[in-house]
Amino acid sequence: MSRLNNNSLSQLPKDVALPKYDRAHLVPGIVHLGIGAFHRAHQAFYTEAVLNQFGGDWGIIGSSLRSPSVRDQLVPQDCLYTLVERSGDGEKLQIIGAVTDTLVGPENPAALVATMAQPNIKIVSLTVTEKGYCHDPASGNLNENHPDIIHDLQHLDKPVSAIGFIVAALKQRFENNQKAFTVLSCDNLPNNGEVLEKVVLQFAQKISPAFAGWIKSNATFPSTMIDRIVPATTDDDRRDIEARLSINGEPVRDEGMVVCEPFSQWVVEDKFADGRPAWEKVGVLLVDDVRVFEKIKLRLLNGAHSTMAYTGYLSGFQYISEVMEQPAFVNLVKTYMAREAGETISAPAGFAIEAYKQQLRDRFSNKALKHRTWQIAMDGSQKLPQRLLETLREQLAGNGNIDILCLGVAAWIRYVSGVDEQGNAIEVSDPLAKELRAACDANQGNPAGMVKAVVGIQKVFGSDLINEARFVATTTQWLERFYSKGVFNSIKDAFQ
Ligand code: CS2
């Protein structure tokens, strides 16, 4: 079996869309930190659209800050990969060519820093997930006790964290009197640009105030709202696509392919230090203020996602589309969007918010996407603050509806206890997994004690929420119900 590469392009089946420009003319202008499936289906897709429709030469150097697997998938195939859009209407295949190389941070950190410091690099973008910011989610401050930050402050010549890489590369530019770059956060955090700027400046300040001052006045940190549902690629996906790419009956293997939904959205604050691709020509919304878009998306989409992930997983559903086949869950999601989340949102003029909510429910119901509840359930300690807890604080302040927010928090506590309703272990993937498990174990059989212990973790809940009696009581009631009659039955009783 052959492998997708530059030579196979011209022979691929006619219904596979190909790069329409000469890849040899690309000049890397972007280094992306964290080249996972999301980047390949989102920012690289938009840059590809600019290249296809309007030319230019913006190439992307991808990098992984953890494992070499994406490099091993992409480099042997000239960094080409297939983007597969799936919905009930079928499947659309496109080969993306915008990525020119892929580096692995841990293998040679100095090489990645040097690449980021090259004058042709104008943007360093990142998708490193919430926990990659090494900040305290409740306060937004750099977590100086984070092992990666401790390491990087001592060894900035070989950083391990995204923050360390950014600071190290900016430092070389500062020392060489070069221009700064734009640092473009593409993670699901409210005000992600501000969050990133804060941790980068706090880190740089520890090196020298003059350097931190230079970053502040020269680098820019636009905030962005990113949206596209991109489940992790599976071996079944790779096998299916092999056949779809076959040349003269011989399958073509693509190890780097990604699957996504047709929908995508990107809203970007337009403040770039040294230029950018003409993304506005291909549907990206360049605006002065992203916050309202980010709030709408995080609360309606991601808040619903996390709530469905914990309750759905515990009810025995593997995929989000299966959860959406249950009338009680549909009603739960509708109510949450109208009430708990919806009441805290004022959409900008012209934004059809009801249509947006319906479209979200349709997207969740896309059966062609195998989006695992377990995947979304990951890293809840990093996600809950912006997905549910900020909404909760607003609702508490106005004495408003908090029921489904408490249900979501209770389901998360039930999930991080680490044992499902059949007594099987749950593989909880979360940087605080041990601490959360210990808090639950110390209160076995005592839902009220579990809630107090978990909500007492200030890194997640701040110091205020433990004192909110209505929140603690409602969350405890849900957790009691979950333990006495099961999660699915509790939801059916309340929402069917
Ligand atoms: C999901 C998101 O995994 C998760 O936590 O909620 O990745 C979600 O699919 C994206 O934000 C959609 O844009």
For the chain (496 residues), the mean pLDDT of every run of 10, in chain order, is: 95 97 98 98 98 98 97 98 96 98 98 98 97 89 96 98 98 98 97 97 98 98 98 96 95 98 98 98 96 96 98 98 98 98 95 97 97 98 96 98 98 98 98 98 98 96 97 98 98 97
**At a CB cut-off of 8 Å and minimum separation 6, what does 433 contact?**
416, 418
Contacts of 177 (CB under 8 A, 6+ apart): none
Q: Which of 376, 388, 415 to mutate to test the pocket of ligand 1 (most atoms within 8 A of CB)?
A: 376
**Of ligand 1's atoms, which has the minimum distance to the CA of residue 371?**
9
Task: Find the 71 Cα to ligand 1 centroid distance in Å.
Answer: 23
Q: What is the pLDDT of residue 91?
A: 95
Query: If you measure from the C-alpha of residue 230 to the centroid of ligand 1, how many angstroms do you get, rounded to a whole number?
Result: 8
Tokens standing for residue 22:
């000469």
Residue 227 CB less than 6 A away from ligand 1: yes
Predicted local distance difference test score (pLDDT) of residue 74: 98
Closest approach atom of ligand 1 to CA 302: 6
What six digits make up the tokens of 221? 């940190």
Q: CA-CA distance, 60 to 43, in Å (whole number)?
A: 10
Q: Whose CA is nearest to atom 5 of ligand 1?
A: 376
Structure token digits, residue 391: 């909404």
The span from the CA of 274 to the CA of 58, in Å, is: 13
Please work out whether the CB of residue 363 comes within 6 Å of at least one atom of ligand 1: no
Which residue's CA is the nearest one to ligand 1's atom 1? 376
Q: How many Å lie between the centroid of ligand 1 and the Cα of residue 36?
A: 13
User: Would the CB of 264 count as within 6 Å of ligand 1?
Assistant: no
d(CA 200, CA 162): 10
Distance of CA 376 from the midpoint of ligand 1 (Å) = 7
Q: How far is the CA of 129 from the centre of ligand 1 (A)?
A: 10
pLDDT at 241: 96
CA of 227 to the centre of ligand 1 (A): 8
CB 305 near ligand 1, within 6 Å:
yes
CA-derived radius of gyration, the chain? 23
Question: Does ligand 1 come within 6 angstroms of the Cβ of 465?
Answer: no
Probe ligand 1: pick from 186, 294, 301, max atoms within 8 Å of CB? 301
Atom from ligand 1 closest to the CA of residue 226: 13
Q: Is the Cα torsion angle 64, 228, 57, 117 positive or negative in sign? A: negative
CA-proximal residue: ligand 1, atom 6 (nearest): 302
Dihedral (Cα; 163, 166, 172, 175), 10-degree rounding: -80
Residue 127 Cβ inside 6 Å of ligand 1? The answer reads no
481 CA distance to ligand 1 middle (Å):
28
Q: From ligand 1's centre to the CA of 76, what distance in Å?
A: 29
**Which pLDDT score is estimated for 138?**
78
Q: Is the dihedral of CA 299, 300, 306, 310 positive or negative?
A: positive
Q: Is 302 in the pocket of ligand 1 (CB under 6 A)?
A: yes
Residue from 45, 186, 229, 362 whose mutation best tests the ligand 1 pocket (most atoms within 8 A of CB): 229
* CA-to-CA dists, residue 188 to 166, 183, 192, 218, 447, angstroms: 19, 15, 7, 25, 30
- So what's the pLDDT on residue 183? 98
Question: Edge-to-edge strands of the sheet including 99-104?
Answer: 99-104, 58-64, 27-33, 123-126, 182-185
Q: Whose CA is nearest to atom 11 of ligand 1?
A: 227
Angle, CA of 242, 245 and 251, to the nearest 5°: 50
447-455 vs 469-485: helix crossing angle, rounded to 10: 130
376 lines ligand 1 (CB under 6 A): yes
Say if CB 385 and CB 285 are below 8 A apart: no
